[in-house]
Amino acid sequence: MTDRAEILSRELDSAFRNRADLYRLMLEELTSELGPDAAESVLVRAIEKRGQEVAHAAFARFGPNDARALGEAFLAVSPDDGRMYPTDVERSEHAITFRVRRCPLKDAWVQAGVGDEKLATLCRIAGAFDRGLFETSGVRFENRTWVPGHGDGCCHIHLADRDG
């Protein structure tokens, strides 16, 4: 990598960590005002809507039976050429599965000392973005976000054709 590319990569990672800190702090503030269930619900709705906005802008050409193509398009725009979210991928004719090995959001929460229960909550909240992003096309979407005992990795996302 060139010096400039290395600087931009670090800045991008920092921006994602900042996003993680905002999620964490918003959850804390909303929890103190509304309670834990309502706080999570509000954040999930807002973040899912943001995923929908991104889907309309970036993936509008995909429909309910384009799961594999949608997944490939998603991988093609993964930040920092996929280095930010290294992913194991399984492909079939009508489906695609991602197993995310590293997430800068989860890394930031762990570094902030977030405990396992809150970490699982924050991962569910962040996963709402993916739901908004992928369900907008109509494909079948499954997401298992990190929970204690899940290991070091992060979420597992499965996309399948609606009619497949």
For 119-164, the pLDDT digits (tens) are 999 999 999 999 999 999 999 999 999 999 887 889 999 999 999 7
User: For residue 1, is pLDDT > 70?
Assistant: no
Residue 144: is it exposed, middle or buried by C-beta count within 10 angstroms (0-12/13-18/19+)?
A: middle
Query: Token digits for 74?
Result: 């998603």
pLDDT of residue 100: 94
Asked if residue 55 lies in contact with residue 132, where contact means CB atoms within 8 angstroms, the answer is: yes
Average pLDDT of the chain is: 94
Predicted confidence (pLDDT) at residue 18 exceeds the cutoff of 60? yes
3-160 fold? Muramoyl-pentapeptide Carboxypeptidase; domain 2 (3.30.1380)
Q: Are 37 and 29 in contact (CB under 8 A)?
A: no
Can you read off the two tokens belonging to residue 139?
């494909």
